[in-house]
Amino acid sequence: MKRKLIILTDPGQDQAAAILMILGAPDRFDVLGLVATAGNIDLGHTTDNCLKLLELAERTDIKVYAGCPRPMAGALVTAEHVHGPTGLDGPDLPDVTTRIAPEHGVDFIIRTLREAPAGDITICSLSPLTNLAMAMVMAPDIVSRIGEIVAMAGAYFEVGNITPTAEFNVYVDPEAAKIVLDAEIPITILPLDVTHQMLSTPERLAQMRKIGNRCGVATAEMLEFSQAFDLQKYGWKGAPLHGPCVPAYMLQPDIFQGRKINVSVETAGALTRGMTIADWWQISDRKKNAFYVRNGDAEAYYGLLLECLARLP
């Protein structure tokens, strides 16, 4: 049975790889729409990047919806220093032949969840959670209709990648992350603690190129561009590949390990705003609200990614 997805995204090279991975598994995923948010880059670029990726994969039948241009509180923080001035630098992507849908992304989320049977839709979150949180605030009735959320978000053991204490997706909009985590919706979190184990080594990028199709080559070119920042930052043998952990978990959860714990978000700390506090050792009496993934099999992960990319044009 196909899993019906609403994808929240602000691509970003690693998110581009995640979206292509999802599109490469049409027997497992039914993509209802992409909701773009401001995050890695401004909203105009993220919507354009979504359209370009769908063009690349020959899936222009999927609609792209523009969501919120800024977080719920505070100024937008972006990451051009990692992803380049377009947010998706690296490959030469095809010209766009389609336009974004006229409906606002938040309205699309609300309408789609209301129209579907309760529990039928999974929210696949690759980005800050702004649009989902806004939908939940505007239409509280949709909360009980969400089947599951699977999100690339947060960190605890690996602390932060945009500040010393915060992971980027949560830091951009911690108020939104708090609303979502406090809503008692089944949620799986793929944090830096696992994504930092998934390194795009030269050998793995070479395997993407060897697929020989344009999506495989384009993915390799994207990751070769964005890895420059991380290689210098971490000094590892490859850059961590975050976004595809979300579809990989949905495709093959047994290659990951984690446990259900309480995850909270700091919204006020002068040095810790956007920090995710993962009660891994169950020290507090706070209610367990998330399945928190701690480890994963990198070889199996990249095998899945290559398998999905190979099915694309």
Kindly report, residue by residue over 106-144, the tens digit of the pLDDT.
Answer: 999 999 999 999 999 999 999 999 999 999 999 999 999
The one catalytic residue among 45, 83, 196, 242? 242
Domains within the chain, CATH numbers bracketed:
3-309 (3.90.245.10)
Per-residue pLDDT, 1 = 83
pLDDT of residue 232: 83
pLDDT of residue 181: 98
Phi/psi at 78 (5° precision): -120, 180
How far apart (Å, rounded) are the C-alpha atoms in residues 60 and 133?
A: 27
Strand ranges, E, within 82-170: 121-125, 146-152
Would you say residue 227 has pLDDT above 90? no
Length of the chain: 313
Per the structure block, which two tokens stand in for 62?
């999927």
Average pLDDT value for the chain? 96
pLDDT reported for residue 233: 84
The yes-or-no answer on residue 242 being catalytic is yes
The token pair that represents 137 in the structure block: 């605030």
